[in-house]
Amino acid sequence: MDKQRSTPDQQAARDPLAVTRGLSAEALARRRMLLKTAGTGSVATLAALSPMKAMAGGVTLAVCNSATTGKAVICTISGVQSAAHSFHGETYPNAWGYSPGWWGQSTYLNGKLVPRRTWPCNCNVTVGSILIRASSSTKNLTLFTLMSNSAYSDTPERHWLNAYLNALAYETNTGWDKGRTGWAFPYSSTDVINFYLNNDQAAYAFFVGYLEK
């Protein structure tokens, strides 16, 4: 079923720095979960709720909101985000990423189930060809099967692949419906894969908590 989302114009009509700007119910639930567990002090949770140091090669700057303060922060591709940043009049795009369910939406074409959305890569290659550390239960699935089958909704591979697809879609402007004006995914596809290969749980929590909408 198609996921109903407000348009950029509708979102712009609201406070652009609101904590819940453009978040779906699913994303809000994830945000609440992260906030609820913040007191445990886990590395992944704390990283998702505070500025993150990203070893990344791109130069995209984008704005997102701190889950703890509600204030806008700059999502830098390298370096450390500031919890309280002054923008001095600069205008940056809003950080954005689609949810796994968005990429998994399907339709029938000539009697065959196919992606409803435009993908930035071949959806029929195996998960293991992209995520080489994938588990035995997911590595032989096609990318589209992983994203479209809710049975795999809780697998780490689904969320890593989601971040990869978002990054690749933004880089190539393929399947990125919002285009390059006003919205950006702040990490490159290479960054995502490097985070994945290093089992970077801080990056994983950040992608899930902030960039799945």
Average confidence score pLDDT of the chain: 73
Any bridge partners for residue 64, and if so which? Answer: 73
Task: Please enumerate in sequence order all residues whose Cβ is within 8 A of that of 168, keeping only pairs 6 or more positions apart, or say none.
Answer: 120, 121, 174, 189
Is residue 3 scored above 80 in pLDDT? Answer: no
One-letter amino acid at 77 equals I
Higher pLDDT residue, 202 or 60?
202
- Given the structure tokens 């990490």, which residue do they identify? 187
Sign of CA dihedral 169, 110, 106, 152: negative
One-letter amino acid at 152 equals Y
User: What is the rounded CA–CA span in Å between residue 65 and residue 83?
Assistant: 9
Global model pTM greater than 0.85: no
User: What is the rounded CA–CA span in Å between residue 67 and residue 4?
Assistant: 23
Higher pLDDT residue, 160 or 45?
160
pLDDT of amino acid 44: 35
pLDDT of amino acid 114: 96
Task: List, for residues 19-56, the tens digit of each pLDDT value.
Answer: 334 445 555 555 454 444 433 333 333 333 333 333 33
Mean pLDDT of 149-166: 97
Q: Where is average pLDDT lowest: 11-25, 70-84, 137-151, 170-184?
A: 11-25
Task: List, for residues 87-128, the tens digit of each pLDDT value.
Answer: 566 677 888 899 999 999 999 999 999 999 999 999 999 999
Q: What share of the chain is helix, strand, coil (3-state, %, to 5)?
A: 40, 10, 50
Q: Sorting pLDDT into bands at 50, 70 and 90, what band is 8?
A: very low
Is residue 145 scored above 90 in pLDDT? Answer: yes
